[in-house]
Amino acid sequence: MATTITPVFADEGQGKKSIYDIHPGYSHTATPASLDTKSPRLIEATPTTAPEPTDEKTTPTPTDRLAAEIRKARLFLHEHTVHLQKHVDLAFSKYLSYEHSITTTISSLAPPKSSEEKVVPGVLYVAVSTMAGSIMARNRMFPIRVLTPVSVGIGAGWYFLPETTRNVADLVWEWEKTVPEVAEKHLLIRRKIEEAVEVSEKAIKDGRKVVDENVSRGRSIVEGWVKKG
């Protein structure tokens, strides 16, 4: 008689359980000591320490090197731009100072408004007189050819433009005082000229006196002859 073998499965006779069913041996009041400390989900988080700095230096990237070069170029341009701007401002200030000085000097040479002196005609007269002195001394020696026009021009300036010439002389004297040697020579020459003028005036006065005496004597002699008939 043949026997039949029927397979028996392990889960045969048991109903399927849901994954959400609570195991009979699980209790909500389980103490932490009963928990499996080796489970990866129950391992307590331990504080992590920062890695110790290493002495290894990181090499800069091309971008970092480019940024450093650009920074150097900007600082270089800024420094030289500020330096150039300072020099330009200083030069402009000096220019304004010189311009103001020249303008003030030229305005101080002009005669006052209350004066009747006319500058333009007087300058023309002085120029013509200087050229006339140059023409008169053109066939003379070199020192005479140089000194004659200058002397005639200065004399014409004192005659036609007395106030302007005085202002120019005062300005020249102020410039000469900055160089003591030139100022001393100027005073020496001026003193000699004044002495020469005084001697000339005295000689002219004496000559006029002698001429007057001779004329008076000659007139008296002629009158005596006329009386004697």
Q: Which two tokens stand for residue 222?
A: 């002629």
Condensed to tens digits (0 to 9), the pLDDT of residues 168-183 reads 988 888 888 888 888 8
Q: What integer pLDDT is reported at residue 71 of this predicted model?
A: 92
Percentage of the residues of the chain whose pLDDT score is greater than 70? 75
Residue type present at position 31: T
In 3D, which of 148, 163, 156 has the Cα closest to residue 124?
156
Q: Is this prediction's pTM over 0.95? A: no
CA torsion sign, 23 to 29 to 33 to 38?
A: positive
Condensed to tens digits (0 to 9), the pLDDT of residues 30-68 reads 444 444 444 444 444 455 555 555 555 678 888 888 999
Contact (Cβ atoms closer than 8 angstroms) between residue 148 and residue 134:
yes
| Three-state SS letters, the chain | CCCCCCCCCCCCCCCCCCCCCCCCCCCCCCCHHHCCCCCCCCCCCCCCCCCCCCCCCCCCCHHHHHHHHHHHHHHHHHHHHHHHHHHHHHHHHHHHHHHHHHHHHHHHHCCCCCCCCCHHHHHHHHHHHHHHHHHHCCCCCHHHHHHHHHHHHHHHHHHHCHHHHHHHHHHHHHHHHCCHHHHHHHHHHHHHHHHHHHHHHHHHHHHHHHHHHHHHHHHHHHHHHHHHC
Q: How far apart are CA 2 and CA 5, in angstroms?
A: 10
Please tell me which residue, 72 or 139, carries the higher pLDDT value.
Answer: 72
Q: How far apart are CA 91 and CA 86, in angstroms?
A: 9
Q: What integer pLDDT is reported at residue 38 of this predicted model?
A: 47
Q: Which two tokens stand for residue 157?
A: 């300036």
Residue type present at position 82: V
Q: How far apart are CA 148 and CA 87, in angstroms?
A: 48
Q: Stretch 201-227: mean pLDDT, rounded? A: 86
- Phi and psi based region of residue 13 (left: phi greater than 0; alpha: psi -120 to 50; beta: remaining): left
